[in-house]
Structure 1
Amino acid sequence: MAISQRFHKLLILLHERVHADELKNNLLELIIDLPQRSYYRHDRLEDHLYYLLIGKQYKDKDLMLRLKVICLNTLLKKQLEDHDIVTILAILHMLDYHLTILKDINWFVNDYARLSMNVVDRLVYANQVEVSVKLMKKMKSHFPKSRELKRKLLQVYLTLDQLDELTKLLPKYVIQSDDTKLLFKLREKISSDQWTDVILELIEYYKDQPTKKFILASLYFQEDDYESLIELMHSGVDLDIVMSYDHKLYRIYQNDLTQIYQKVLSDIIDSYLGDRAQVAVRKAIHHMDQLNARKLRKNVMSYLEKEYKHRIQYLM
């Protein structure tokens, strides 16, 4: 049966308030001993006795070293579930942070790589942000290609409003991963001049990436740069890209969208004789119906009926 958080906090509080040396030492021994018991559950970091103790006693190096040895022995001796292991690993990193500023994490990445991001999450959730950031920075040298690690570090920077780090690292992350989820959260936090530098860097990069037009389209769309988005569509894009953004365009760029749909659908029809062409045409027409873009639908259909009069019945 798990020991309650209230009991843990009372033990720590009692240890703080007691002045008699013998009683204080006895309480400390009880606090240190309890997590070593076979019935102790380590699952919640913020309820853990050692976590509560570290926050109050982190200047006591001898105690920190003692707790570290106990935690390492616990990992070796006890039959633990993963969530318990994650908690103890998080405590070990907190101890190492106070003792050595996480000088050596080789043992961690070698033996516990599969749980490493769980440990980071546990530290972040428990507001051990400095420890988690330091740990992630150290982990980057071991897992330089890990997108998950880079994304988590950026998320923490965003939470902490460490905008200089974010502004420097986020464009590189987007280019490496094509993940723009965090990008537009940054826009809300930095100056317009800073944002302009960030977005222009990305746009210039993706202009030279013909296989990643979907990213460039999303950047233009988020920036309300509809002229550039239309120009990109004219250069040749997938049907899905056109359908993703035409709801903002079809009233103003009716003629452009007509030409774009005609070209995109023609390319598909000319390339595929089977069901794929039929599916694409039906999907596009259904999409226009949902938009209530009647004129656009009429113009596109008239074009298809004229250009593919021998196939139009099958295509529809």
Structure 2
Amino acid sequence: MKNNRKRLSNLFESPECMNRKADSFFIRPQRENPFSLRKKKRVNLLALGDVGGMLLIGLRLLGTEAVSSIGICDLNEKSILRFEMEAGQIQAPFARERMPRVEIISPERLFDCDIFVFCASKGVPPVGSRVEDVRMAQLKANSQLVEVFAEKAVSRDFRGLFAVVSDPVDPLCKAALLCGLKREQVQGYGLGVMNSRGIYFAEKNERFRQYLSEGRAFGPHGEDLVLANSLENYDDELSRELTKLAVQSNLKTRELGFKPYIAPALSSGALSILATASGQWHYSSVYFGKGDCGAFLGVKNRRTPYGIEVEDLPLPQKLYERIESAYGHLRALR
């Protein structure tokens, strides 16, 4: 029965770009892969709002082994000066190895790096507003914004990773890709926190406990999220219940009067970007389409010298259908 199950690779629309293994497949780079896993990365971060500022703190605290420097850039000069000073003063006493240095960079130097992190955003609905899907409310304004910087990256012949953290993550990745970046250059960082929210609720409720050891997350950082309680013993009703809790978690934080940015900035942002830089398994979005007709889909993956490796295990039919539906909705977004 398991041999008849479909896999994520069945959704991948460019088989000529894919090398299969038993339980994974590789997305071959469209040009020579410049993303070395052997050296520390230079990371440049655009925009120091709530998410960007928290992400910077995470990179500074946790990036000693993977990051050599963090360049920061923002329209607000006082914000740049503040974060350069405060982040630079985060340091463990008597540490043998110093944390990555934080430096102010000009807009002209944004793409002098290995990883460019896009945290800029326009039109974030205020706490207390009646917008049901906060992420999609930002799509139009943020698409225009990401296109400006993606076009600059292409004009500079940028060959590093264009990491999108701003909402809505997956459609913004598509907008960046369509500006001329290569498919392996763009990844979206939103699924990490949805997995973390699944873990949070699984730790609180015994009914979801299987998720801690057997669960998986797929899809976007939003309404079409797919959490699976287990790949071996998939329970569709239980998985949908856990998914709903994860999706609505940010709304619960807003009901308390706060913007839900801490967990996304660290789980989806800092921790997942550091895992990417080190070639470790993590959750992020990669491009599944052919030409401009596809979409970015959040999956478990890692960077390797041979391209992006995506986990490709046999999936229960109902789970596969949920992922297929999420991918279809992402493709329809414009």
Give the TM-score normalised by the residue count of structure 1.
Answer: 0.24
In proportion to residue count, which structure has more helix? Answer: 1
Select the structure with the greater relative contact order (CA < 8 A; seq sep ≥ 6).
2
The structure with more radius of gyration: 1
Give the TM-score normalised by the residue count of structure 2.
Answer: 0.23
